[in-house]
Structures are given as C-alpha cells and as structure tokens.
Structure 1
Amino acid sequence: MDIVVNAAMSADGKLSSRRREQIEISGPEDFDRVDRIRREVDAVAVGIGTVLADDPHLTLDDPERQQQRREQGWPANPARVVVDSRGRTPPEGRICDDAAETYVLVSATAPETRRRALRDAGAEVIVAGDDRVDLPAAVAELEAAGINSLLVEGGGELIFSVIENELIDRLTVYVGSLVIGGRDAPTLADGDGFVDGFPRLSLAAVERVDDGVLLRYTVPAAE
C-alpha cells in the first residue's frame, strides 16, 4: 500500500494546543492542496483523538473533484479510516454518515456493544491486535478490501505509529507562521518516541504556501 502522511504544524512543531482543540494553522491554498491529495487516494485515515476533538467529515470540498472521481468509476469521496483501539468512535458522528465508506480499526479490547453500534451505523469494523490496533495487520486487511493508497492526516499518535511500523512512503508537512507552545500540546509524532535508530527522511522539495512553508519528504529505501 502507498501511504502518505500529511499534517500542518506550528513553527514550534505543534499540531494543536494543549486543549486539543482544532487550530487553523494553514490557509486556503493549503486546504485546496489537501483536497487535491484526497481526490487521488482510496482512503483517508485519522486517529480516534482527532475524531473526538474535531468530528471530521474527511470528504472532498470541491464538487468538481467528486465528479471527476465518479467519472473514473470511483466513489465520490475516498473511504474514511479511524484507528480506534477501544471502539470509541461516535456512531452519530459525521465520520459515520453515508457520504463515504467508513472503516473503524479496533483491537480485541473494544467492547462488542460498541462494535455492533458502529456496524449498525454503517461502518465496517476491522479487529486487529489484542490491547491496541496492530497497524500492519490492519493495513493488510484494508489492502484486502481494495484500498491501495492511504492518506494519513493525524494526529500525532497515529503518525508516530505509522513511522514506527515503517509504513510511511512520503511525508508532507505544512509549517505555519505561528507559535502554539506547551509541553502537553500534541506534536507531529507523539507516541513513545525514539531513543535510537531514528528514522531518516530525504527532503525532496520546499515551497512557500499561504504564509508558511510546505516541506516534502520521501522515505529512503531500507538498506
């Protein structure tokens, strides 16, 4: 599977404030860029923290791009994927509406009542892992379901897990011209962090977008 991670962070590397509230870091040019990426992928993925904080829809903003997908024989919007070990995704949330197919990746610890509620809401529930989602196994299940390209939009815990499991192919990061601060504010890659064997990236391009900078990285092949 081709996996690209895309995120927007402040000049000091924060995805949002310590309150985990959505902050507008980029602008209209970058929003349109993200919409273009969504138009090309089979699915868009976020972690449960993003779902609970933002109630995202993860659909295309541009109706013309939706029509272009239909003309290619694709669904109008890419599928949506939530990485949610305990099955906390709200069945009434926008992520579970009928605008696009939704996959919720849970672990064996997710109560059956929550799994059933999500299925009743129309989501496809994939169980992978015991205490937390086994991401490589879940990605294999998604591939088996026909998803061959995935855009990961955050948050920091999910991005770290994607990097830690060596699933990432490319990384694009918009760096906005603001400072958020706070030792408890989420960063681009949270999780446990690395203490050695730090993953290396290769800087492919730098461009100015809105009032910030877009950094494009590729991931060197393992030696």
Structure 2
Amino acid sequence: MHVIVNAAVSADGKLSSRRREQIAISGEADFERVDRLRAESDAVVVGVGTVLADDPHLTVKDPKLRERRLEAGEPEHPARVVVDSRCRTPADAAVFDDEAETYLCCAAVAPVGRRMDLADRATLITAGEDRVDLLRAFATLQAEGLERIMVEGGGELIFSLFEDGLVDELSLFVGPTIIGGRDAPTLADGEGFVDVDSFPTLTLESAERLGDGVLLTWRVAGA
C-alpha cells in the first residue's frame, strides 16, 4: 500500500479559518492536479470533520480522467473512505451518493443504531474500541484491493496517520494567504509528538511554483 497525504495550506500552515470555513487556498492549476491525483488513486480518505465541514463528493471531476479509468478496467471514481469513530456522518452526506463505493471506518464505541443507519449506505469497517485503529482499518482496505490511497484531511486524521507510520508521501500546496488564529486547524493537529526523536523525517523530492504558491512534495523517511 502507498499512502499519499495531499493538502493545501496557507502561508502560515492553516487548512481553514478558526470557524472551519472552507477557503480556496489554491487555484485552478492545483485543482486540476488534485483531480489527476484522485484519478490515479484506488481510494480517497477523509476524516469525519472534513465531511461535516465541507460535505465533499470526493469524485473525479474531469470526464477524460474518468474515461481513462474505465478504459483501464477501473471504476469510474476511486472508492471513498470516511474515518468516523462514532458514526457521526449524516445519512444524507454527499459521500453516500451512488457515484462511487464508500467505506466508513468506525470504532466499537459507535452506537449500534447509528451503525445500522449507515450500513445500507456504506461498507462499515469496525476497527478499534474508543477510536478507529488506523493500522487495522488500512489493512482491511488493502485486503479489499485498495493499494493507492490518497488522504485529503483533516488535520486530526493526518497527524494520526503520521503517528502510526502509515504515510509514504506528502504533497502540499502552500498558498499566498495568511489565515491566522490559534484555533485554526493546521496540517497535523491532534496531540502532537512528545519528543524530537519521534518527529517524522521528510525528504524533499520537488518544489514547483504554481501561481503565487508553491507545490512541495516530500517522501517520508523509512517509507
């Protein structure tokens, strides 16, 4: 399995404002790049916070890219995966439409009633007791044949994936905007690493200017 985290952050490292509002940090060139990256993936993964804030479809927009997937014998869109420990994803969320297969990763703590409500809308993967055990959940996704995984956020999920050593590559667009705010979400939220020795080490593969921003691609050491 190869896991790539893709995100767009402001120049001060924020994913969105302190109100969790969706902000267009990048432009058309980066949107097209992200669409290509989705089209090259077997699955697109987000946390429940992203679903609640943005209600994304997580589908491939360009019809030519969808056609290429079909010609290659793949589904028109990659699978969609929501990491949602307590099954808080609304039953009418856009990820539950009929455009693509959807998986929902939850924990045993999720109410049975909520799991039953969502079981008809997605394939449920129960891993972990109080929160999703990402190692087990991703192993299940791999067993389902999903090898190329694209993660689109948010910060809590991204931190947890780094913490569990599941990230192979980080693709980051840094845009020409200052958002500010101590409560604004960053690329890697969560509890944070305890000591310097536990910090993930990245190797810069490329840096490309896109408009007034820059696209940075890193490989994760040891991946």
Same-fold call, TM > 0.5?
A: yes
Q: Deviations over 1:87-109 (max 9, x none)?
A: 01111111101100000000001
Q: Secondary structure at the match of 1:205?
A: strand
Q: 2:168 maps to which residue?
A: 169
**Matched-pair identity in %:** 62
1:201, 1:34 → 2: CA distance? 21
Q: 1:53 maps to which residue?
A: 53
How far does residue 195 in structure 1 lie from its aligned partner after superposition?
Answer: 2.5
Q: Secondary structure at the match of 2:139?
A: helix
Report if aligned partners of 2:200, 2:221 keep a CA contact under 8 Å in 1. Answer: no
How far does residue 41 in structure 1 lie from its aligned partner after superposition?
Answer: 0.7
Q: 1:140 maps to which residue?
A: 139
How far does residue 146 in structure 1 lie from its aligned partner after superposition?
Answer: 1.1
How far does residue 213 in structure 1 lie from its aligned partner after superposition?
Answer: 0.5
Q: Secondary structure at the match of 1:141?
A: helix
Q: 1:211 maps to which residue?
A: 212
Q: Secondary structure at the match of 2:206?
A: strand
How far does residue 113 in structure 1 lie from its aligned partner after superposition?
Answer: 1.2
How far does residue 210 in structure 1 lie from its aligned partner after superposition?
Answer: 2.6
Report if aligned partners of 2:57, 2:94 keep a CA contact under 8 Å in 1. Answer: yes
Q: Secondary structure at the match of 2:88?
A: coil
Report if aligned partners of 1:79, 1:103 keep a CA contact under 8 Å in 2. Answer: yes
Q: 2:154 maps to which residue?
A: 155
Q: 2:13 maps to which residue?
A: 13
Q: Secondary structure at the match of 2:161?
A: helix
Report if aligned partners of 2:84, 2:105 keep a CA contact under 8 Å in 1. Answer: yes
How far does residue 221 in structure 1 lie from its aligned partner after superposition?
Answer: 1.6
2:141, 2:6 → 1: CA distance? 19
How far does residue 149 in structure 1 lie from its aligned partner after superposition?
Answer: 1.1
How far does residue 199 in structure 1 lie from its aligned partner after superposition?
Answer: 1.1
Q: 1:202 maps to which residue?
A: 203
Matched, 1:127 2:149: no
Report if aligned partners of 1:55, 1:93 keep a CA contact under 8 Å in 2. Answer: yes
Q: 1:97 maps to which residue?
A: 97
Q: Deviations over 1:22-45 (max 9, x none)?
A: 100000000000000011110000
Q: Which amino acid in the other structure matches residue 5 of structure 1?
A: V
2:192, 2:150 → 1: CA distance? 22
More displaced, 38-47 or 213-222?
213-222
Q: 2:86 maps to which residue?
A: 86
Alignment of 1:172-183 (within 5 A): 172-183=171-182
Q: 1:117 maps to which residue?
A: 117
Report if aligned partners of 2:60, 2:77 keep a CA contact under 8 Å in 1. Answer: yes
Q: Which amino acid in the other structure matches residue 40 of structure 2?
A: E
Q: Which amino acid in the other structure matches residue 96 of structure 1?
A: F
Q: Deviations over 1:32-70 (max 9, x none)?
A: 000000111100000000000000000001011101101
Q: Which amino acid in the other structure matches residue 125 of structure 2?
A: I
Q: Which amino acid in the other structure matches residue 210 of structure 2?
A: V
Q: Deviations over 1:148-206 (max 9, x none)?
A: 11000000000001100000000010000000000000000000001312111011110
Q: Secondary structure at the match of 2:81?
A: strand
Question: Unmatched 5+ residue regions in structure 2?
Answer: none
Report if aligned partners of 2:14, 2:179 keep a CA contact under 8 Å in 1. Answer: yes
2:12, 2:154 → 1: CA distance? 16
Q: Which consecutive segments of 4 or more residues in structure 1 shift more than 2 A?
A: none
